[in-house]
Structures are given as C-alpha cells and as structure tokens.
Chains A and B, each alone.
Chain A
Amino acid sequence: MKKYDAIIIGAGHNGLTNAAYLAKAGLNVVVVEKNDYIGGAAVSRELHDGFVYSNCSYVCSMMRQVIHRDLDLTRHGLMLVPYMGTIAFGEKGERLISYASEGPNYNELKRHSPHDADAMYRLMADLERYSTLIRKTLLRTPPDPGRLRFRDINELLFLAKTFWELGENELYEYIRFFTMSAAEFLDDYFENDFIAAVMATPGIIGTALGVDSPGSAYILLHHVMGDVDGNIGAWGLARGGMGAISKSLAGALREHGGEIMTSAPVQQVLIKNGKASGVVLDNGDELEANIVVSNLDAKRTFTKIVDRSDLPERIFKKAENFKIRGSSGKVNIALSGLPKYDGVPNNRYINRGGQAFIGSMSTLERAYDCWKRGTWSDDPFIESVIPSAWDPTVAPPGQHWMSNFIQYCPPELADGPWTPEKRDAFGKTVIDKIERHSPGFKDLIVHMEVRTPFEIENEVGLTEGNIFQGELTIDQLLFNRPFPGYAQYRMPVKNMYMCGSSTHPGGGVSSACGANAAREILMDLRKSNTVPEDDCSDD
C-alpha cells in the first residue's frame, strides 16, 4: 500500500497552499477532500445554466501577493480584476458612492459632510499605517511567550521592534484602536452617522460582534489590510470566480507532483502511540503517511477527526471552548439584467461596482441584537457585488450574477434548527430589502441560492458556518490562535499539524496560514524551506 510523506485534510485554499509548498520541497503529498470539487470556501460553481457562483467567499484582497508570484498562480490561470465603486444605501434615502479617484470621492463625501470628507483622509492614513504593521506579521509564525526558546524571543523582539517604530504615542493609539468598538473608534472621525455606518461595516463582516462591541475595530482592519497588486485596502475579483484561486493553487500543487483526492471524507486520523500515522476515509480505506496536516477548523480537528483519548483532556476542553460562531448568510442570485437603483445616476461605471445595503449605525447594531436572540433582522446588512459586470466568464451574455453577503444570520434559530422554509424566508427578507432600493429587482431574478450557516457548515465544513474558522477576537489572535501554546501550527499529537484559518493570521483568502504551516513542517523535517518571506515591498 502506498505511503505518503504527508496527507493534507481539506482542499481549501490553505490546504492546497500548504500541500503545494510541501510538494515543492520534494515531499510526496496528497490532499483529501470530502466534496467532489476542490476549493472549500473558495469555489466557482455553476448552479444554474451558464451562471457560475462564487457561492462562499466572493471577493479577493487578502491573498499574499508574494505567494501569488512565488507559486506562479497567474501561469496557473489566476487573474485578479480590481473592482471599484460601491454604492452604499442609507435608510432615509441617503446614498454614498465611493469612487476610485480622489476628487469625485471627496465631493461625494462633502455632499454629506464637509467635515467628514476631510476626516476620511485622516482615517485612511491611520488605517494604512495600522495595516502596514499587521501585514508584516502575516507570513510569520507567532512566538510562544510561554516557552521563550531562542526563536520565540527573536520573534517577540521582532514584534516589539516593529511596533516600537510607531513611536510612543502612536503605540497608545494603536492599543486604543485594537481594543475599541468600530462605532466608538469611528466616532472620533465622523460626525455623519451614515458615513460612519458605511465605514463600520467591515468591522462586523463574518463576526459575532456588533459595531458597538469592543474588538470590532480590529475586524475592520482585518478587512482593509489586504491589497490587490500592492494597492492596500483595494478589493478584487478572481476572473472565473473564487474557484480560480483554488484551481491555480491545485495547478501549482500538481506541477510539483502532489495529488488531490476528491469525494474522500476523512473519518478519523490514525494515531499510534501518540504519533499520527495516516487517516481512515469514510469508505474504510486507510492512507498511511509520516505527517498529517488538518486544514479543518480547530474545533472540528480536535473534536471530530481525532480520538478524544489521543488528546490531553485540557486540550480537548480548549478546543471545545474555541470561539467559532456562525453569523453570516449568503444569497447568490442569477439575474436576467443589471439592476438599477433608486436615485443613482445611470452611469455604467457606477453600476458596475458593489452595493452595500446598510441603513444606519443603529440598523447594523439592531441586526446584531436579532442575532443574539436567535433570529435575523428584517433589515439586515447586505454587502453585494455583481462580478459578471467585470468578468464575462461567470454569466451568459447580457445576464448577471449577484453575490449577496448578509450579516447577521444565526447558526441556529431560537425556535429550533434551520428548515428549508425558514431558509427561504431568510432569503426573501434579503431580496425584499434590495427591492426597496431597486424597484423591479425581483423581476430580474432567474435563480437564487440561499445559504445560512447551516448550509455553509454542511457543505463547506466550517463549524457553525463561521467564515474565519474562529472569531477574530484578541483571545484568539496571534499567539492565542487557535489557543495559547499551540499557535505554531503543531498539534499536541506528534507528526500532526494545523494549516487552516483557525491558525495565525486567521480568516480571509490569504493562503498565509497554509504557507506558515508548511514552513514549520519543513523545519521539523529538516528540509530546506520553500516558503518565501513576505516582501512587504508595497509597504
């Protein structure tokens, strides 16, 4: 029977990245994937004739450019298309259009508040300064303050130095920003509630926090620290859908001799006297390997595919306490034409951007209040984009597909689990809100896929449907991710590793977790490192 050097569980972008770098180092690797398609949450799926949905993640910005270049993903078919211009809708008919170019953007803000138009420069400068700092840590393994071996001290010193360069007062400002709520942080910049609300939305996407919850300011940063071609904060689309990212990673993997096995759900990791030795698939097949890498979230990894008796009890408890909360929904819609919006100039350029159906700061917070109560708001926050407006390959000519991300959507409802009826009711809430801003929208709908955390968990395998594989709160960041003492990608079981977004630096299609894990594995195997250093040249 064939024995692999390494088995990677889960063909999401981090699993594929991890496998690619191990294969590049000459290891004989196989990625096992439960679904009959690869990509995990970065997929392109034709769920209706000619319409290709990126039905989980839908925009791209956090992908580490250095990995993109190093694995030559462009040659393997990845093409990033920056998209620009987003129309945000308020509840009293306000509209805020964000333009790519500075002049129009400034005037648009000025329309709402001259003060805030100026404040926006301040905010952007601050956010860029803050994100530049975090970016330096993305492709590095966090130190373990509990162990303080040479490498840990080194890494701590690196962090200290990096933050020190801010200067004393900036350091205080940084701590402030890092721990505050998005609403209160932005309150220091904007007088206009709607503008503040628009800027606060990245602070709640994917998280079980509200704009008013301390900690949401960091989530905001997490969403603006990415870049498209070094353009920090910009967002892009992958031509052909997010699946193109997974496809190109798979291409790189295969080129280096790696294998991928789809429709191969792992039942359990084989552990013999404290050492991982392979996996058993649902169909009973056994695969042997020297190393097993899990790309599943930490909770699943520790509580589902590893036998509890193989773990120290306290570690099992930590895994059970890992905060991974479903809070988002997704509605993917096939449209017979491009929707038009009330009071928005029929400008081809503007209508090719994204839409943010917001309301006000309190609309956002009230939507969170609903989530807490195990229901969804009838006025939810919807972040939409129409990729087909930029990418002709994802919808039939003249027709479009629209990605709608909804915050919030509870993993389970107060009155019991999700049912198809409740799911459809949730979907209706979403299109109702869009229809309010785009009369006639519903008539354009050709096909619609509604995904609550329930579907996301069952299809993608993310516990509770949490898109980050674990909350991005301070107790679960850096050397606390997924939990203290295990932030360096190694499991408490010998020869077993983690490479998913449950590890540093966390969620978002960045490939950083997978790459970092590969570097650690190669270090343990005394193989030369194939993972590039992050060149923050654009910083």
Chain B
Amino acid sequence: MTQYDAIVIGAGHNGLVCAALMAKAGRKVLLLEASDVVGGLAASREFHPGFRASPVHGVTYFSASVSKKLDLARHGLSFGPALPTIGLGQNGEHIALLGDVATGAMQADIDAYPAYRKQLLRYAKVLNALWEKTTPRIGGGNLLDSLVYAQAGLKMRMLGREDMGEFVRILTLPMRDLVAENFEDPRLQALLSWDGLIGSKMAPRSPNNAVLPLLLRMSGENEGDYVVPKGGVDALVRALEAAAKEAGVDIRTNSPVHKIDIAGSEEGLKAVGVALESGEVIAAKQVISSADPKTTFFDLVGAENLEIQFSNRVDRLRTDGFVAKFHAALSKAPEVPGLAHSNGRLLIAPDLDAIEFAYDAAKHGEASPNPVMEITFPTEHDASLAPAGKHVLSANVMYAPYKEKTDWSDAARTAFTSRIIETIEAYAPGFSALIEGHELLTPKDLEHQHRNTGGHWHHGELALEQMMMMRPTYGAAQYQTPVPGVYLCGAGCHPGGGVMGAAGMNAARQVLA
C-alpha cells in the first residue's frame, strides 16, 4: 500500500488547495473527505428532488495567486463579469452597486460613493501585504518574519499623514458609523454595511470587528464586487479537484477521520498518521487538518494531547454561527417589480435598524422575526442545478443563532421558514406560489452537514481577537500546532473564511518550509 508523506483532512476548498500545492511540490498526499463529495461548503447538494444548491454564493475574493499556482484556468475555472448588488426597495424602487457606480440612491450619495470606495480600496491594498503570508509571532519569531508587519506599516505610512490617521480611525468603527458618516440614503447605508457583517455575530452598531473583514473581502482583484465562476460555484470545486488529481493527490470521499494518530516518546508527541472511523489506519509524517480548530484539537487531536492553557484558549474561541441558509426550488423565476431579472445578488435590508433589530433577537437566542437576507439565483449561472426551466433561490438569512433557545425545535424552524418566505413575498409578489420545495439550514444543520463547529462559515468569528497572528489562537497561528506533524489549513487560521484559498496556500508553504 502507498506510503504517504502527508494526509490532508477535509476536501473543502482550503483542503484541496493545500493538498494540490503539496503534491505539486513532490509530496505524496492523501486527501480524506468525510462526506460523499468534495468541495465542503462550496459543494452543491440536492435539497429537493432535481434541485441542488451550495451554501456559497460567490467567489468575490478567491485568491488570484492560488488560481495561478494551480493553473485553475486550464482546469476550467473562469470568472464572469462582476455582478451588481441590488438593495430591494418596496414598490419597485431599488438601488444597485457595481464597481464605482451606485444607482437609485439619493444623488448626493451617488456622487459621494466613488470617493468612498476608492478610500476603502486604498486601505484594502495596505492590508494586502498580510493576507497571503503567514502572520508571524510578534517579537517571538526571527526578525525576518517581522518584515511582513514592517511592509504593511510602510504601506500605511505611504498613505500620507491625513489618510493614515483616517485609516487607523475607521479600522475599528462600527459599520453604522462608517456608512452614516458618508451617506444619507437608508437603503444604501444598509447595503454598504452588509459585507462587513455577513457571516459574523455582528450588527451595524458593533464596533471593532466589521471593517477588517470588509477590507479583506475587498482585497482581491474584484475589489469587493460580487463575482461567480462561469458555470457556478461547482466550476471552482471541479477545477480544484482536477488540479489536485493532476498533481497526484489521492482523494478519498466517504472517509471520515476518527482520530489523528499521535505517538509519544521521550522527545514528546508527534503525529504518525490517522485512524478512520472505519477502523482503517493510515500512516503519514504530516497531518494537515482543514477542519475547524475546535474539531481539530478536541475531536481529532484530543485534549489529552494538549497543554491545558492551549486547549482552554481553543475552547474559548467564538465559533457560534449566526447565519442560516434558505434554499427554495422554484417552478419559474420570481418576478420582482421594477427589477429586470438579475443574476446579481439581491439584499433585503431596508435600513440599518432593520439589520440591528434582526440581530437583537438572535443575540437573545431567537431567530429574527424580521430577518434580513442576501438572495441569489444559482441557476442563473449553472442551469444543471434545477430541471429545465426551473430555478433555485438561495438566501443567506440573518440572524439565526446557533444556540436557539428551543434548540431549533420544529416549531421554531417552521416559524422562521415562513417569516423568510413572507419577507421575500413582500418584495416578489407571487413568490410563494412558485415554491415546489425548500430547505432551511440553521447553523446547527450546517454544523451537522459540514462538521464545522457552531455551523460558523469562517470556522470562528473574524474578529480582531481571532485574526492574523491570533487566528485561531497563539501557539497555532502559524499553521503549525503544538503537536509536531499536525498542521491547520482551514478557514480557522489566517486569513480566515470566505472562498479565498489563502489559508490552504499559506499552510502548504508553511508545511513545505
């Protein structure tokens, strides 16, 4: 049987990227996936006979260097043009954002928007120095490492005095203050705050943690615009899978890992392989987990193999998801008054308070009675997701607490589902009549389906205290873990979640080093 140099656990996009890059570097790599398909959260699953959907809406900031390194273009990955983000208004008055252009909002805001976006892009470019590198320990590592920070610092200085001050100031602003300082139109304010909040336990009034993720999202060459691969999100998964296979990665689905095999000796602990739930044991010198930190350290490594302070730090990680996924199988595309059919993303968030108050309910353990959401129609990009002529509606709905006070009883699920449908119906009259079937994926369901603790998109809050050299926590923030031979490569490590691939790439670099 084959002797593997490295085993990568989890065939999500970061696992695929990491495995492929290691194989390209000549290592013999085995990629193990618990479910029956590769792609993790990006994989499309059937939710109603003949209808499929993926939790992922777009690939706005998928790393260009990953595409290049793995030559994904040759494997069939290409991106369509940037698509508009549309803020739905009642009675058919909508606003739209695409690139520098805002339409439908107050004139003053439309005029102010390009400058605002340019400013944020300037700041996003400063941070680009950080995302695709390992963020070294501060003062801990060697001086060379710290150059990463020096570089970012220099870029910051080059903004000039005024701009740098402003950068430092807005970095921790709540989205509400940031947008309210610049815009008047309530719908535009809500629309612009969205990308800073989505996926997190954050509301417009929450300070500190919104702007950094927003700038991360704007870091790619799409500059924050909504982008989907030609052929839909599946096209990305297929390309990554093809690249991995070509590089020589052995991929095994339906192979859930039970434990990472750890051997102890006078020299201490080290990974020697993995044991599958099937009982099969596979040896390897390096085990790289794209599972979230809590799953990796508590389920796969085991607290018994970790120093107590470290496992306490993993235990206190904030990993509760606050976003639900809603999928609807539609007999035809719904009509939204005043909106020619759109392949962009539609937001239902009338103003900042609507988002804030939706959050308040979730904060207290209740699904938002008046949810806000981001809607897309994946079938616009991949007709194969539904029977001919039919459509799939996919919505990220905020807010749905992982810890719902009834633990997501059927009653709670039904109530939330109907609130979602009623909300959409209000903007797309006749919508509910088109529904042939639907599914609600609460964070609990996502956790069950994807084994990501808390059902959290990003394997843990993208918050200052859990970012960069502190992601997931110090002692494991440079992809190595306290157990020699065990590495992290998932969204739980720097730079974090979103379909970006940088975590997998950085990890591969670190493991190969």
| Known interface pairs A172-B469, A480-B165; 11 further A-B residue pairs with C-beta atoms within 8 A, sorted by A's residue number | A147-B161, A179-B172, A213-B207, A321-B177, A366-B364, A372-B205, A480-B168, A483-B165, A484-B164, A484-B165, A485-B161
Contact A188 B168 (CB under 8 A): no
A474-B207, A484-B168 given; A323·B177 CB < 8 A = yes
Interface segment among B36-44, B137-145, B321-329, B340-348: the answer is B137-145
Contact A484 B169 (CB under 8 A): yes
Contact B169 A176 (CB under 8 A): no
The reply to whether the CB of A212 lies closer than 8 angstroms to some CB of chain B is: yes
Q: Give the bracket for the number of chain B residues in contact with chain A.
A: 35 or more
CB-CB < 8 A to A373: which residues of B?
A: 357
Contact B364 A362 (CB under 8 A): yes
How far is it, in angstroms, between the C-alpha of A473 and the C-alpha of B176 when the chains are bound?
14
The reply to whether the CB of B419 lies closer than 8 angstroms to some CB of chain A is: no
- Which B121-153 residues sit within 8 Å CB-CB of chain A? 137-140
- Which B337-371 residues sit within 8 Å CB-CB of chain A? 353, 356-357, 360, 363-364
CB-CB < 8 A to B161: which residues of A?
A: 146-147, 485
Contact A485 B162 (CB under 8 A): yes
Closest to A176 in B: B465
The reply to whether the CB of B428 lies closer than 8 angstroms to some CB of chain A is: no
Contact B318 A214 (CB under 8 A): no
CB-CB < 8 A to A213: which residues of B?
A: 205-207
A214-B209, A215-B207 given; A164·B168 CB < 8 A = no
Q: Type the 1/0 row for A193-223, where 1 means its CB is closer than 8 Å to any CB of B.
A: 0000000000000000100111100000000
Contact A180 B465 (CB under 8 A): yes
The reply to whether the CB of A432 lies closer than 8 angstroms to some CB of chain B is: no
The reply to whether the CB of A175 lies closer than 8 angstroms to some CB of chain B is: yes
Query: What distance in Å separates the Cβ of A295 from its nearest Cβ neighbour in chain B?
Result: 24
Contact A365 B363 (CB under 8 A): yes
CB-CB < 8 A to A485: which residues of B?
A: 161-162, 165
Contact A172 B470 (CB under 8 A): yes
The reply to whether the CB of A525 lies closer than 8 angstroms to some CB of chain B is: no
Contact A214 B164 (CB under 8 A): no
A184-B318, A474-B208 given; A175·B465 CB < 8 A = yes
- Which B457-513 residues sit within 8 Å CB-CB of chain A? 463-465, 469-470, 473-474
Closest to B170 in A: A475
Contact B470 A475 (CB under 8 A): no
Query: What distance in Å separates the Cβ of A313 from its nearest Cβ neighbour in chain B?
Result: 13
Contact B470 A321 (CB under 8 A): no
Closest to A214 in B: B208
User: What are 18 A-to-B residue pairs whose CB atoms are below 8 Å?
Assistant: A146-B161, A146-B164, A168-B138, A168-B140, A168-B474, A172-B469, A172-B470, A172-B473, A175-B465, A179-B463, A213-B207, A214-B464, A321-B177, A372-B357, A473-B172, A475-B171, A480-B169, A485-B161
CB-CB < 8 A to A369: which residues of B?
A: 360
Query: What distance in Å separates the Cβ of A191 from its nearest Cβ neighbour in chain B?
Result: 13
The reply to whether the CB of B17 lies closer than 8 angstroms to some CB of chain A is: no
Q: Type the 1/0 row for A329-366, where 1 means its CB is closer than 8 Å to any CB of B.
A: 00000000000000000000000000000000010011
Closest to B182 in A: A321
Interface size on A, residues (CB 8 A): 37
CB-CB < 8 A to A473: which residues of B?
A: 172, 207-208
Query: What distance in Å separates the Cβ of A213 from its nearest Cβ neighbour in chain B?
Result: 6
Q: Type the 1/0 row for A139-176, where 1 means its CB is closer than 8 Å to any CB of B.
A: 00000011100000000000000001000110110011
Closest to B161 in A: A146
Contact A212 B207 (CB under 8 A): no
Contact A483 B169 (CB under 8 A): yes
Contact B137 A168 (CB under 8 A): yes
- Which B163-187 residues sit within 8 Å CB-CB of chain A? 164-166, 168-173, 177, 181
How far is it, in angstroms, between the C-alpha of A264 and the C-alpha of B162 when the chains are bound?
37
Query: What distance in Å separates the Cβ of B413 from its nearest Cβ neighbour in chain A?
Result: 23
Query: What distance in Å separates the Cβ of B230 from its nearest Cβ neighbour in chain A?
Result: 39
Contact A179 B465 (CB under 8 A): yes
Contact A169 B165 (CB under 8 A): no
The reply to whether the CB of B68 lies closer than 8 angstroms to some CB of chain A is: no
Query: What distance in Å separates the Cβ of B319 from its nearest Cβ neighbour in chain A?
Result: 12
Contact A214 B207 (CB under 8 A): yes
A172, A323, A365: the one within 8 Å of B474 (CB)? A172
CB-CB < 8 A to A479: which residues of B?
A: 168
Contact A372 B463 (CB under 8 A): no
Closest to B159 in A: A146
B140, B207, B209: the one within 8 Å of A475 (CB)? B207
Closest to A471 in B: B207
Contact A215 B208 (CB under 8 A): yes
Query: What distance in Å separates the Cβ of A226 from its nearest Cβ neighbour in chain B?
Result: 23
Contact A484 B173 (CB under 8 A): no
Q: Type the 1/0 row for A296-339, where 1 means its CB is closer than 8 Å to any CB of B.
A: 00000000000000000010000001010000000000000000
CB-CB < 8 A to B166: which residues of A?
A: 484
How far is it, in angstroms, between the C-alpha of A160 and the C-alpha of B463 when the chains are bound?
23
Closest to B363 in A: A212
Query: What distance in Å separates the Cβ of A473 from its nearest Cβ neighbour in chain B?
Result: 5
How far is it, in angstroms, between the C-alpha of A462 and the C-alpha of B479 when the chains are bound?
50
CB-CB < 8 A to A483: which residues of B?
A: 165, 169
Residue among A179, A362, A372, A475 with most chain B CB within 10 A: A475
